[in-house]
């Protein structure tokens, strides 16, 4: 154990918590609960300079001074900092209005979601954050460069800001039981709501000026794949992989569709099956809750994974401020540095004011036979199980704090696949939706704008998804790419083990998820894989 390296990691994490108190609160570090992220131009410049220095320091740590786990932690931090360095020229803080909405919204939402402190302390912390929201909004008004800002970013932020007004003014105070405290929180909520409303008006007034592009460019995309995600592919190779997987899955889905109704037209079959759905969002949530428990019981019965002691996963309506920008299910894990093991699986409720026609389309996007797959992805053994395993067994704070979607989303899609392989999806119609979920991820890699044609998405869901991918470069390709990498690692692991029974699978699943959510090459090194002796990224 290298104490100097541990100290370096501790100093780096301390800086990270101070720079993002909202994230620190989500991790369970309650001492940051009354603070809000600094989103001023000077803060972004300071972080850029400091990140360069941290990158230099971590790269200077030699392999010979570290044990295996420490080398992996070093390489993980280097990949994170290198990712920031690659994307810094994009100046997202000048082009993404959500930068100035998210801290104030998630910062208070997380406090009441986890409730790690007594209610009077929660209210005091939330009031402090809410009253700092006008400063964040003022920074956004000053920082946004309309020549760089894509219109899609602005439209999404307007919807989110409008939803934030009601959340801060009405819905958040309703979380408080004590009448006196509720009144105080409402006063602070009104301060934040006014700022959110002013920001929405500002964006609406200026949106015609937004003329920037969301494209990051092939060179940047490839650099992120190779230096942040440590993958051996470039952007063009990744696109070809997506096309190949789409063609392969299309062939399998044609066979399955023919077994179900005699026709190979799986898209038409899915359109018909989309009509079978709960009549209301609450009914949809009940279906998700039922299948989440079924998936958990299946894991308990088969022993496909080890369930961490005390883990729980509630199935809840999505946060109101999230609904205008996210039309699919999501997950919020338990705080890594607090005792709670409860995660939250958020079901995609429609935004306020949704028309009856759009509500129908959104419910079609969460049809009855699609729900088993999503429950597996978000909960068991997908995100919830993975994140609780990290909390339970990850070997270092670095592994508990940082997350890459190429492993995290790759794991959740792998969870769908392994449950398919093990026979969880007994109804062929539910099985078809699992294939659909995978081909949807292949379509994401190829091009986001073909979602309605080739991904079985209803129009409002397709619009929300494309907006999401434009706002988060390389995230769309992480699901299928990560899943395929994990499958390859599994094959090498089982081959070395010399067994392929359920006990061998459980051993693999427990080991790789306990390593954290790192680039897949590092995850394989962590479980003693073929690349364990490869040179580090530092």
In the chain, what are the domain boundaries? 3-209, 235-524
Helical (H) or strand (E) element with 439: helix 428-446
47 close to 88: Cβ distance less than 8 angstroms: no
Give the model's pLDDT for residue 345.
Answer: 98
User: Quick count: other Cβ atoms within 10 Å of Cβ 495?
Assistant: 11
In terms of residues, how long is the chain? Answer: 538
518 close to 526: Cβ distance less than 8 angstroms: yes
User: Quick count: other Cβ atoms within 10 Å of Cβ 15?
Assistant: 14
Give the model's pLDDT for residue 529.
Answer: 65
- What DSSP character marks residue 251? H
* Distance (Å) of CA 283 to CA 258, 458, 486, 505: 30, 19, 35, 35
Residue ranges of the chain with per-residue pLDDT less than 50: 448-457, 530-538
Using CA atoms, how far apart are residues 70 and 3, in angstroms rounded to an integer?
10
Q: Give the SS3 label for residue 316.
A: strand
For residue 368, give both structure tokens: 């009855």
214 close to 471: Cβ distance less than 8 angstroms: yes
Residue that the structure tokens 């920031």 belong to:
84
User: Quick count: other Cβ atoms within 10 Å of Cβ 400?
Assistant: 20
Judging by DSSP bridges, how do beta strands 342-347 and 312-317 pair with one another?
A: parallel
Using CA atoms, how far apart are residues 355 and 359, in angstroms rounded to an integer?
6
Q: What are phi and psi of 31, to 5 degrees?
A: -65, -10
Helix, strand, coil percent content, the chain, rounded in steps of 5 = 70, 5, 30
Give the model's pLDDT for residue 454.
Answer: 45
Residue 193: CB partners within 8 Å, gap ≥ 6?
A: 164, 165, 166, 168, 169
Residue 3: CB partners within 8 Å, gap ≥ 6?
A: none
Spatial CA neighbour of 430 closest among 286, 297, 262, 256: 256
Chain center to CA of 69: 25
Where does residue 150 fall: left (phi above 0), alpha (psi -120 to 50 degrees), or beta otherwise? beta
Give the model's pLDDT for residue 307.
Answer: 98
199 close to 101: Cβ distance less than 8 angstroms: yes
Using CA atoms, how far apart are residues 243 and 439, in angstroms rounded to an integer?
10
469 close to 486: Cβ distance less than 8 angstroms: no
């Amino acid at each position: 154990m290298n104490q100097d390296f541990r100290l370096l990691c501790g100093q780096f994490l301390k800086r990270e918590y101070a720079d993002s108190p909202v994230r620190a609160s989500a991790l369970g570090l309650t001492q940051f609960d009354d603070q809000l992220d600094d989103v001023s131009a000077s803060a972004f410049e300071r972080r850029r300079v400091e990140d360069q220095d941290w990158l230099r320091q971590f790269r200077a740590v030699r392999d010979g001074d570290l044990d295996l786990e420490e080398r992996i932690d070093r390489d993980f931090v280097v990949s994170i900092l290198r990712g920031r360095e690659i994307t810094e020229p994009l100046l997202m803080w000048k082009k993404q209005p959500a930068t100035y909405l998210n801290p104030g919204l998630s910062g208070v939402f997380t406090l009441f979601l986890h409730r790690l402190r007594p209610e009077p302390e929660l209210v005091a912390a939330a009031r402090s954050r809410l009253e700092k929201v006008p400063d964040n909004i003022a920074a956004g008004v000053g920082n946004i460069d309309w020549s760089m800002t894509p219109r899609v970013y602005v439209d999404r932020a307007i919807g989110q800001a409008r939803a934030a007004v009601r959340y801060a003014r009405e819905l958040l105070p309703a979380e408080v039981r004590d009448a006196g405290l509720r009144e105080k929180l409402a006063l602070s909520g009104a301060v934040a709501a006014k700022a959110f409303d002013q920001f929405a008006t500002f964006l609406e007034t200026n949106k015609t000026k937004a003329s920037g592009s969301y494209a990051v460019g092939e060179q940047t995309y490839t650099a992120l794949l190779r230096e942040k995600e440590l993958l051996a592919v470039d952007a063009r190779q990744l696109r070809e992989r997506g096309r190949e997987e789409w063609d392969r899955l299309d062939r399998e889905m044609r066979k399955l569709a023919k077994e179900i109704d005699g026709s190979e037209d799986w898209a038409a079959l899915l359109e018909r099956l989309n009509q079978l759905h709960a009549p209301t969002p609450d009914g949809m949530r009940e279906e998700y809750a039922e299948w989440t428990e079924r998936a958990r019981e299946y894991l308990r019965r088969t022993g496909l994974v080890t369930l961490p002691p005390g883990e729980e996963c509630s199935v809840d309506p999505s946060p109101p401020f999230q609904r205008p920008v996210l039309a699919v299910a999501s997950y919020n894990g338990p705080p890594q540095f607090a005792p709670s093991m409860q995660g939250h699986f958020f079901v995609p409720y429609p935004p306020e004011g949704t028309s009856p026609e759009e509500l129908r389309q959104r419910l079609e996007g969460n049809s009855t036979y699609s729900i088993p797959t999503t429950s597996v992805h978000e909960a068991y053994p997908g995100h919830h199980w993975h994140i609780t395993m990290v909390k339970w067994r990850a070997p270092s704070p670095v592994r508990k704090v940082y997350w890459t979607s190429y492993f995290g989303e790759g794991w959740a899609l792998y969870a769908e696949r392994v449950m398919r392989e093990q026979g969880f999806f007994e109804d062929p119609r539910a099985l078809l939706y699992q294939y659909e979920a995978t081909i949807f991820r292949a379509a994401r890699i190829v091009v986001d704008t073909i979602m309605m044609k080739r991904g079985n998405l209803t129009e409002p869901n397709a619009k929300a998804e494309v907006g999401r991918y434009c706002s988060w470069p390389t995230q769309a390709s992480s699901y299928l790419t990560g899943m395929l990498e994990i499958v390859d690692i599994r094959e090498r692991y089982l081959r070395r083990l010399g067994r392929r029974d359920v006990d061998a699978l459980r051993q693999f699943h427990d080991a790789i998820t306990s390593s954290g959510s790192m680039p897949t090459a590092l995850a394989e090194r962590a479980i003693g894989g073929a690349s364990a002796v490869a040179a580090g990224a530092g």
